[in-house]
Structure 1
Amino acid sequence: MKDRTVGGRLFDIVNITALILFAVLAMLPFLYIVFNSFLSSEEFARRGVVFFPKKFSLDAYMYIFSTNTIVRSLLNTIFITLAGTAINIIFTSLMAYPLSRKELHGRKSIMLLIIFSMLFSGGMIPAFLVVKALGLMNSLWALLLPGAISAFNLIILKNFFQQMPDGIEEAAKIDGCNDIGILIKIVLPLSLPAIATFSLFYAVGHWNSFFTAILYINDTAKWPIQILLRQVVIMAEGGIGDASQMSESLAIPAQSVKMAVITVSTLPILIVYPFLQKHFAKGVLLGSVKG
């Protein structure tokens, strides 16, 4: 391999420098939130909100965890994310695989209906009436079942399945494997990059979703973390903790409480991302080559 030219090396240096700067700029807002969540009452009284506190304090975290409110909301969100992602992947796979088979009669008509649903929807009020008629109001299932399948993800996964060699499935049928067995034992194991990618898409969507919970959940005990975060941001501390349990009598800055809740609600999904990141780009590109 020939040595890089001076121009090529200079181009690499400029690119790397620019990417590092963009990465730092992207991280600054999150670092600002994390650092201010450790802001102490004394420093807030002297300096106000700062980017980097001189002294770190856990008062805000002790306050928000002094009751089970945030833990309960986190558990609700974890259940919604895990159960919702499992439902999404199961239903999307079960629908995408038959549509990827050319021998399925009427699959073009079904695909037209799916594409139509991407462009037009019944709207919020009809969706609310359907959820109410099904008896799902004030239930966590109201956040899971209505959005069981994403039309966009379905189309990409269908295209991914279509790219698999027909010979693999034909060999499995010769060995006596039925369609469900082919899907579970052959197609899905070979589709792990795509499954991991769409699992991440669905999981992030469930973790960040709050509007459907506002519509369908009235019981505060069933609130996901994003609804609790919204209440804290709108109503300052929002009664999330018990100030009488704190060792110090100093008032905890509302800004620190907000930042602490944002940090707690963001970190779990950030921790999950690195485990799926290696499949992320590969899964999307493989399913978007042909229709």
Structure 2
Amino acid sequence: MQTRLRSEKLFDWFNMLVMLLICFATLYPVWYVLINSLNEGTDAMRGGIYWFPRAFSLENYTTVFKNDGLMTAFSVTVAKTVVGTLIHVFFTAMVAYAISQKELVGRKLYLIVGTITMFFSGGLIPQYLLFRDLQLLDTFWVYILPAMFSFFDLIIFMTFFREIPYGLEEAAKIDGANDFSIFVRVIIPVSMPVVATISLFHGVYQWNDYFAGVIYVNNPDLQPIQTFLYRIVALSGSNQIVSTVTGVTKTVTSQSVKLATMVVATLPIVFVYPFLQKYFVKGFMIGSMKE
């Protein structure tokens, strides 16, 4: 018995050590970027900064926030994240609610077609030509309309809706509510866990998406912050970034500006996540595990 307890305790300590190493490998790169962004740029070029800033300075962040281009990109990112998430959640939930109704004509066909789209797509060139013909290029709506619907998110919504007692819908119909009223006034309020889950999924996608800004948008006033960061990273090998993006003092380098911009682009979505985490776990487990 004692040997077994000793083995279990040894196994627990081993698990703890492995998890600490995984946490360190995950978090240290973030910490490294943060401390170097808080260090004076020219001093950071010497290297050797591993745990704390050697020459603390906020000049990198001052430089970043003085740049009108970054603040414009930040506002575009906030707008597309909020608007895109609201439209995506509402539209996907509405379609999922309709498909979850067994009496829907052609329901199996819709599910088959939707499943195929999860694995196959038309490709980038046909998509670009389609957006061009729809006059979405160089518009804000190129971030919103193509991302209105996701079949993967529909599956999570639909599985959750199947767990809602039918008596709720029946009672609403007796009171004279139509299908849309039932969806808005009954289904959505009792589905907050899965709504929060999908909102987090899509919100993170919208915030981190840089590809649409690179491919479909040429107007710098419509490019999101991740595209702005992408262009800084692309130019970081030369001093051009210091003059074109910042135009600053001798203590700021292209590398320090890049690191500060990475922090500014990452922290907002990191701060939002803890507030949605409990809904995220509950909604994802219910929406994906139960049948």
Question: TM-score normalized by structure 1?
Answer: 0.91
Unaligned runs of 5+ in 2: none
Question: Which residue identity lines up with residue 110 of structure 1 in the other structure?
Answer: Y
- 2:80 — aligned with what? 80
Counterpart-to-counterpart distance in 1, 2:10 and 2:283 = 32
- 1:50 — aligned with what? 49
Moved more, 74-83 or 177-186: 177-186
Deviation at 1:74, TM superposition (A): 0.5
Task: Indicate the structure with greater helix content.
Answer: 2
Q: Is the 8 A contact 1:70 1:225 kept in 2?
A: yes
Counterpart-to-counterpart distance in 1, 2:66 and 2:165 = 57
Q: Matched residue of 1:105: which SS?
A: coil
- Compared CA separation, residues 178 and 9, structure 1 to 2 (3 A): farther
Query: RMSD value over aligned CA atoms?
Result: 1.9
Question: Which residue identity lines up with residue 82 of structure 2 in the other structure?
Answer: L
Deviation at 1:72, TM superposition (A): 0.8
Deviation at 1:213, TM superposition (A): 1.4
Q: Matched residue of 2:245: which SS?
A: coil
- Compared CA separation, residues 109 and 41, structure 1 to 2 (3 A): closer
Q: Matched residue of 2:55: which SS?
A: coil
- 1:142 — aligned with what? 142
- 2:227 — aligned with what? 227
Deviation at 1:194, TM superposition (A): 0.5
Counterpart-to-counterpart distance in 2, 1:216 and 1:146 = 12
Question: Which residue identity lines up with residue 185 of structure 2 in the other structure?
Answer: K
- Alpha-carbon displacement from aligned partner over 1:109-128 (angstroms, at most 9, x marks no partner): 11111111112211111111
Match of 1:242 among 221, 243, 247: 247
Deviation at 1:42, TM superposition (A): 5.0
Question: Which residue identity lines up with residue 103 of structure 2 in the other structure?
Answer: E
- 1:212 — aligned with what? 212
- 1:270 — aligned with what? 270
- 1:36 — aligned with what? 36
Q: Matched residue of 2:145: which SS?
A: coil
> How many pairs does the alignment contain?
282
Deviation at 1:15, TM superposition (A): 3.4
Identity across matched positions, percent? 39
Alignment of 1:194-205 (within 5 A): 194-205=194-205
- 1:246 — aligned with what? none
- Alpha-carbon displacement from aligned partner over 1:29-59 (angstroms, at most 9, x marks no partner): 00000011012145235x3362232221111
Deviation at 1:93, TM superposition (A): 0.8
- Alpha-carbon displacement from aligned partner over 1:86-106 (angstroms, at most 9, x marks no partner): 111011011000100111111
Q: Matched residue of 2:33: which SS?
A: helix
Q: Is the 8 A contact 1:66 1:242 kept in 2?
A: no
Unaligned runs of 5+ in 1: 244-248
1:257 and 2:257 matched = yes
Question: Which residue identity lines up with residue 90 of structure 1 in the other structure?
Answer: F
Q: Matched residue of 2:78: which SS?
A: helix
Moved more, 17-26 or 125-134: 17-26
Counterpart-to-counterpart distance in 2, 1:22 and 1:129 = 44
- 1:192 — aligned with what? 192
1:182 and 2:157 matched = no
Counterpart-to-counterpart distance in 2, 1:98 and 1:38 = 51
Counterpart-to-counterpart distance in 1, 2:17 and 2:48 = 30
